[in-house]
Amino acid sequence: MKNLRKLHHVRNLFLIVFACIMAGCADDLKNPIPTVEINPGFATSGYAKISAVSQNETDTYKAVYSRQYGISRDLTMLLTVSEEALSAFNAANGTSYKMLPAEYYTMPTSVKFELKSKNADFEVVVKSKQLYKSAGSVQSASQYALPIRAIAENSDGVDENESANTVILHIDMAAATVTTTIPSAPVDLFFVEESTAKEIKTMEANLNFTGIDASAISLAIDKNASLLSDPQYKLLPEANYSFGQVKLDGTKKLTADIEFNAKNLKEGYTYVLPCYFKSSTVDYAVAQSEPVYYQLNITEVKLAIAGASEDETVGAYSSLKTVKGSINVAANSVLPQELTINMAYDPSLIAAFNTNTKSNFSTLPEGTKIKITNGKINANSKDMNIQYEIDITNLKLGGDHYLVPLVLQEDDLEVGSVEGSKVIYLDVAKNLIGTYDLTVITNERKRNITNRVFAAKDCQRGWDDVQATAQYGFGGDGEWYAVLFSVTDEDMPGKPNCKKIEIYTFLELLVATGGSNDVKDNKSYFNTETGEIYIDCYVYESWFDNTYKETYSFKLP
């Protein structure tokens, strides 16, 4: 009986709780949780421009259409063309845009906001060239607009703000334009009097469209150019130039060659050729604010040595038995006949250079072999390279720097003179500095190893004590995280002609140099015969408390 009474009480308690729950539900039905409305809209609601070019087959406009709220539901919006919206825009803004005919554009009929997506962007493709031809001019084509209004397929829970969901896309038509590249100064050419040589220069222009018929563009002369009003200038005679065909270079660039000669031209004048691009059709506009001036000068031969200076050196380094290189000697003009170019070693200049530059270069040991392959600048050419080869067998690896002054022998020239310094000072040293062919064999740490070996003193980390001890470095992860090392005099066991390499830093300082990284099982070496630098070791990195295998080969190109 007691159990029955207990069950009765439990039943009553359950009924009370159930009644409370139902009462709460009734309140919710009377005051439901508000639903957040989806609020689609154009990023440029109201008005935007479609940039088009008259000779482009098509131009594409991306309409950015997004929503901020209601992304938990998908939504389809119908894209309609609203003449009513265009009329209202014209009335409000004092414009007279016309409806863009359907045959001159394509766009989707609807877009869908996918579940959790904030954007439903779409593209409008305008058939620019067809529209331009139909309209008859750029100005007329720019009178069209496309009024788009987006309407919800199902408007339940959608904030269909008419202003936000309407955009007037105005066709902003530009002329197909050829824009000439104008140099900052006249282009100078130099010829020796009575020269039969020829030289070619190239005029360039950029396009704002694709699909040009290059045959409609040509070069012409501006005989009334302002520069010609100066009596020191004369118009270049027609016999001294010829125009090449205008060509399309890529898709948006034009080039045209101009060939020059100096036949029958005399000193005393600067001959000028003012050039411009012109179009044979109104479909292509040419934008050129002034002519491109070519100045032809009749002059004596002047020679210049690349790298020559009174107080600067050019590095000439090698880790092998010889240093090899070349020196470029160039004339200011295409030469009508060949010209002898000779250079010679002159150690008497070393002391004065050291004094003037506060340097301390050494002189090569007596009897050091220096081979200079002299030659000629050929007729109808402007320059040549002199090859040199210096024997550094007896120089110490990582030792002194030696100054080698090579002097152009001006007395040997058949014509002309040297402009600027006649001397190129080579800084010759036996060391490992240079750019190598790098092979990364093992790189467990996945670091960005660089292929340039530099002097340790040039490291940017400020490891002064270590940099004063080490000889060289390379980038262990870019050049900031450097690996500094030296080549020792100790032979590498089992490796003929190889010397051991001592490593001082690997990305950071090592324990032995005051840091917390470390190098273990170092089998790195330098091959004195081939010039190969071989790095082979395990690297402990304190950052990750881990050890990595690293093996790289640096070989001479």
Instruction: State what percent of residues in the chain have pLDDT above 70.
Output: 94
**Distance (Å, whole) CA 182 – CA 203:** 9
Give the pLDDT mean for 86-109: 98
pLDDT reported for residue 5: 45
pLDDT tens digit sequence for 352-405: 999 999 999 999 999 999 999 999 999 889 999 999 999 999 999 999 999 999
Q: Left, alpha or beta for 406 (phi > 0: left; psi -120 to 50: alpha)?
A: beta
Look up residue 186 and give its two tokens: 């006249």
Q: From CA 111, how far away is CA 120, in angstroms rounded?
A: 6
Q: Sheet harboring 417-418: ordered strands across?
A: 370-373, 383-391, 322-331, 302-305, 417-418
Main-chain phi, psi angles of 20, to 5 degrees: -65, -40
**What are the tens digits of pLDDT across the range 37-51?**
899 999 988 999 999
What is the arithmetic mean of pLDDT over 22-51? 71
Helix (H) or strand (E) holding 475: strand 472-477
Mean pLDDT value across residues 496-521: 95
Mean pLDDT of 88-102: 97
DSSP conformation class of 517? B
Residue 210's pLDDT is 96
Q: What is the pLDDT, as a whole number, of residue 35?
A: 60
Q: Tell the burial category of 544 from Cβ atoms under 10 Å away from its Cβ (0-12, 13-18, 19+).
A: exposed
Nearest by Cα to 454 from 479, 429, 488: 479
- Please say if the pLDDT value at position 20 is more than 80: no
How confident is residue 6, by pLDDT bands cut at 50, 70 and 90?
very low
Task: Please determine, for residue 343, whether its predicted confidence score (pLDDT) is greater than 80.
Answer: yes
Please compute the mean of the pLDDT values over residues 250-276 and round it to a whole number.
95
The gap from C-alpha 541 to its chain's centroid, in whole angstroms, comes to: 35
Nearest partner of 178 among 140, 226, 202, 213, judged by Cα: 213
* pLDDT above 60: residue 26: no
Q: What is the mean pLDDT of residues 185-213?
A: 93
pTM score: 0.67
Nearest residue to 54 (alpha-carbon basis) of 180, 170, 212, 168: 212
How would residue 267 be classed by pLDDT, with cut points 50, 70 and 90? confident
* Phi, psi torsion values for 64, nearest 5 degrees: -90, 115
Tell me phi and psi for residue 6, to 5 degrees: -65, -45
143: pLDDT strictly greater than 80: yes
Structure tokens, 41: 């809209």
Which residues are CB-contacts of 283 (< 8 A; sequence separation ≥ 6)?
Answer: 54, 55, 176, 216
Q: Three-state SS for 20?
A: helix
Instruction: Kindly tell me if the per-residue pLDDT of 315 is higher than 70.
Output: yes
Task: Count other C-beta atoms under 10 Å from residue 303's C-beta.
Answer: 21
Average pLDDT, rounded, for the chain: 92
Q: Which domains does the chain possess?
A: 40-174 (2.60.40.1740), 178-299 (2.60.40.1740), 304-430 (2.60.40.1740), 434-555 (no CATH)
Q: How far apart are CA 226 and CA 291, in angstroms?
A: 9
- Strands (DSSP E) found in 229-354: 233-235, 241-243, 247-248, 253-261, 270-279, 284-287, 292-299, 302-305, 313-318, 322-331, 339-341, 343-345
Report whether pLDDT(10) > 80: no
- Kindly tell me if the per-residue pLDDT of 30 is higher than 50: no
